Amino acid sequence: MYQVTDDSTQHGLNTPHGLGTPHRFPQNNNTTTPVDFFKMVALLYPTGRAWNLPENGKFAAMHAGINLSLVQMALDAAASIDATFPDNVNFDSGDADLWEYRYGIPFNASLTLQQRMANIYQAMAFPQNILGRQSPSYIEAMLRQAGFDVRVYQNMFFDGGGNLYQKTPAEVLGTVVGTTQLRFIAPQTQLGAQTQLGGASYQLIANSEKPEQYNLGGNLWPTFFIAGNTISTIANISAFRQTEFRRLVLKLKPAHTVAFLIVNFT
């Protein structure tokens, strides 16, 4: 059986085709050099004395000049790809500045380059026209991918008779005994920044990236919770990332919903 060697070419009579055919781009190192291109060119020429490429010959010198342009083109292409996707060691802070500007990600000097790259990658991965993108699991996945250690919980609970009801943040945090449904609270109830319900302190996100007050109109059905590993556990987020976190929640959540934050911004 024919064995492919370094001297084999794609024009050899018995050279096999497929993955092992020796006219693929050189893959024996992680660099693109004139030597790599010269080896590739040598494989493309037919066999025979007319196409011989002796070392330091005129034919080889001509290709050495041509390869300078090819190498620069390949390096420029690789650099463009590296600067476009935040998934490689060549993606630097200048690239991060540009992509944060393009995606409207607020600059945060306290973040490492790896954290900034994770935020940019999350923004790039945000899908278009996918109906499932506003599900609780998707919102949670995107928040965690951006570096926020939080969980998302629907405001859906069932009593002993199988009836659906919702809870206030105070009930979730255990500061109110018993079940209180918001339909029994005054329709003009205001819930907002640092609202106290039975001693429970929390915030919400409805329409603004800044702490706000919002009139729920007597309904809890459009609300959900963002908390820690359990719905009653307080999550911790850096205060330096509060605006970034709120802005991302606004981007991810359905417009008519309100997020209760069981979160400490420290």
Report the alpha-carbon distance of residue 242 to residue 129 in Å, rounded: 27
CA distances from 146 to 124, 125, 176, 213, 234 (A): 11, 11, 33, 26, 19
CA torsion angle 69 70 72 73 (round to 10): 110
> What percentage of the chain has pLDDT greater than the value 70?
75
Structure tokens at 74: 């390949």
* Residue 184 confidence (pLDDT): 33
Q: pLDDT for 108-166, tens place per residue?
A: 888 999 999 988 988 887 665 565 677 899 899 989 988 999 999 999 999 888 889 99
Average predicted confidence (pLDDT) for the chain: 78
CA distances from 3 to 6, 16, 23, 44 (A): 10, 9, 15, 19
* Residue 108 confidence (pLDDT): 87
Q: Between residues 193 and 232, which one has the greater pLDDT?
A: 232
The closest of 224, 201, 220 to 211, measured between CA atoms, is 201
User: Within a 10 A sphere around the Cβ of 187, how many other Cβ atoms?
Assistant: 11
- Strand, helix or coil for residue 197: strand
Whether residue 209 contacts residue 243, with contact meaning beta carbons closer than 8 Å, is answered with yes
Helices (H), 45-112: 58-84, 93-103
* Residue 13 confidence (pLDDT): 56
Q: For tokens 């370094």, name the residue.
A: 6
* Residue 121 confidence (pLDDT): 86
- Strand, helix or coil for residue 235: strand
Q: Between residues 195 and 78, which one has the greater pLDDT?
A: 78
* Across 221-225, average pLDDT: 93
* Residue 249 confidence (pLDDT): 94
* Residue 126 confidence (pLDDT): 62
196, pLDDT greater than 50: no
Q: Between residues 205 and 197, which one has the greater pLDDT?
A: 205
* Residue 188 confidence (pLDDT): 43
* Across 56-72, average pLDDT: 79
Does residue 233 come out as left (phi exceeding 0), alpha (psi in the -120 to 50 range) or beta? beta
User: Within a 10 A sphere around the Cβ of 65, how many other Cβ atoms?
Assistant: 9
Whether residue 237 contacts residue 266, with contact meaning beta carbons closer than 8 Å, is answered with yes
* Residue 187 confidence (pLDDT): 40
Q: pLDDT for 34-59, tens place per residue?
A: 777 777 777 777 777 777 777 777 77
* Residue 20 confidence (pLDDT): 54
pTM (2 decimals)?
Answer: 0.56
Whether residue 90 contacts residue 83, with contact meaning beta carbons closer than 8 Å, is answered with yes
The closest of 86, 110, 115 to 98, measured between CA atoms, is 86
